[in-house]
Structure 1
Amino acid sequence: MTASRYGFFRANALSLVFGGLFLVTLVGQAIAGTADHNARQVADGLPAVSFLDYVTSSSFGVDVMENWQSEYLQFFLYVFATVWLVQRGSSESKEPGEEGTESDEEQQVGPHADEESPTWARTGGWRTALFSRSLGLLMGVLFLLTWAASSVAGWAAYNAEQLGQRQDPVSWVGYLGEADFWNRSFQNWQSEMLAVGSMAIFAVYLRQRGSPESKPVGAAHADTGQTG
């Protein structure tokens, strides 16, 4: 079925809904964060800040970037790990024995591409090689960019706290060696690893009728890679 048959919104409902939820939750975080920040300011005998001042501050920036980079790390690792690693019985996995990048025929690249295949899948050479790994590479680049942004925002927030306590600020490189930076990073990363691992194993034994993230309700626990 073509997307035009259903209309733009129905054909793109998943991305549009989650895009909307992202904006709602980001605004919610900004509002709640401003209130929390000002409560601490008042408790310390300091003046409250405006909403605009808070959302442009390093405090807000580091909280947002830390969450973003952990999400992109999760997808980067998962996209590449599922090429070579399997979980028997999980809808999130290939069948045991099917590890690897698969043949050109299975992946519909080069001479095996059809007329509706993306241009770079048909071209061959470095373009096809790059396009064949573009999803994982993009997740990796976005992780590095958001990691860098979170480190800079965290550095600024850390130095603001240092100055407020009449202590010397540190350089960006120095901040990368601080426990504060790694505590923030591992705090976010471990939750993502737990979520991905849980999804992979729970999908073996549990079902969600109608979801492509689940096997059909009647599928055997040992069936791998099936979606409902």
Structure 2
Amino acid sequence: MSPMSRSVRKFLWENGLGLAFLTLFVLAVIGQAFAGHADFNNQLAADDLQQVTLGEYMTSSDFAVDVMENWQSEYLQFFLYVFLTVWLVQRGSPESKNPDKVGVESDEEQRVGRHADSASPRWAAAGGLRLKLYASSLGYVMGAVFVLSWLAQSITGVAAYNEEQLRQLQAPMSWPEYILSADFWSRTLQNWQSEFLAIASMAILSIYLRQRGSPESKPVGAAHTSTGVAG
């Protein structure tokens, strides 16, 4: 086996989890595009309107709003989870830190500032604003993606809603009117509630149930009361 082949195999092996989910993401978007295109054309046919091509549908506000409303709910989930797990615990769950670790922990425990070692990221060894930003960078990025995708959902949502209104010969809405409308909040909340339930289920069910070999589960023989222990 050539060095390049070994390098590729090593890369695939060491990044398998991320690559697998990115592949599933692409396949799901493609599937959503085909299914959404068929459904959209069925609606147009019912209204006796001209149907659109797959390319036209994928560049439409109808497709964009369906994608964005899912993205914003997912990133809201991660944003809240990253920050809430700093201060809140769930006794017995591997998704929670130990109760005696509540809070941001000491510089020594986090290996920042003068406690950073040679393998630590450069900004972990820095002080001031750089360290403060880096110390919460995961949450900040998750929050920023949520806000941007929520904004994109509202913009594409009002465009899709107004297209439907015009097809039915009804008056369109402005963007401020739309973000206060039932259509916008129905789309938003139906995704939020499922994300919150999923996280709560994972945190609670992992107290009593196991998945051998998964870091999202405690070791099979671990006590139900063991907290913050991964298998």
TM-score relative to the length of structure 1:
0.96
User: RMSD of the TM alignment (CA)?
Assistant: 1.2
Are 1:184 and 2:173 an aligned pair? no
Aligned to 2:101: 98
Deviation of 1:41 (Å): 1.4
Question: Secondary structure at 1:7's aligned position in 2?
Answer: helix
Match of 1:23 among 22, 26, 31: 26
Pairs within 5 Å for 1:144-159: 144-159=147-162
Question: Secondary structure at 2:84's aligned position in 1?
Answer: helix
Greater displacement, 58-67 / 162-171: 162-171
Greater displacement, 162-171 / 66-75: 162-171
Match of 1:201 among 197, 201, 204: 204
What letter is aligned with 2:86?
V
Are 1:214 and 2:217 an aligned pair? yes
Hey, what's the Cα distance between the residues in 1 that align with 2:192 and 2:226?
30
Are 1:227 and 2:214 an aligned pair? no
Pairs within 5 Å for 1:32-111: 32-111=35-114
Pairs within 5 Å for 1:94-133: 94-133=97-136
Deviation of 1:186 (Å): 0.4
Hey, what's the Cα distance between the residues in 2 that align with 1:158 and 1:35?
19
Runs of 4+ in 1 over 6 A off after TM superposition: none
Question: Secondary structure at 1:97's aligned position in 2?
Answer: helix
Deviations 1:60-101 (A, max 9, x none): 000000000000000000000000000000000011232100
Are 1:162 and 2:165 an aligned pair? yes
Deviations 1:127-155 (A, max 9, x none): 01100000000000000000000000100
Unaligned runs of 5+ in 1: none
Hey, what's the Cα distance between the residues in 2 that align with 1:204 and 1:45?
54
Deviation of 1:169 (Å): 1.0
Deviation of 1:6 (Å): 7.0
Deviation of 1:5 (Å): 11
Determine what percentage of the aligned residue pairs are the same residue. Answer: 61
TM-score relative to the length of structure 2:
0.95
Aligned to 1:143: 146
Deviation of 1:170 (Å): 1.2
Are 1:175 and 2:178 an aligned pair? yes
Hey, what's the Cα distance between the residues in 2 that align with 1:151 and 1:101?
34
What letter is aligned with 1:80?
F
Aligned to 2:11: 8
Query: How many aligned positions are there?
Result: 225
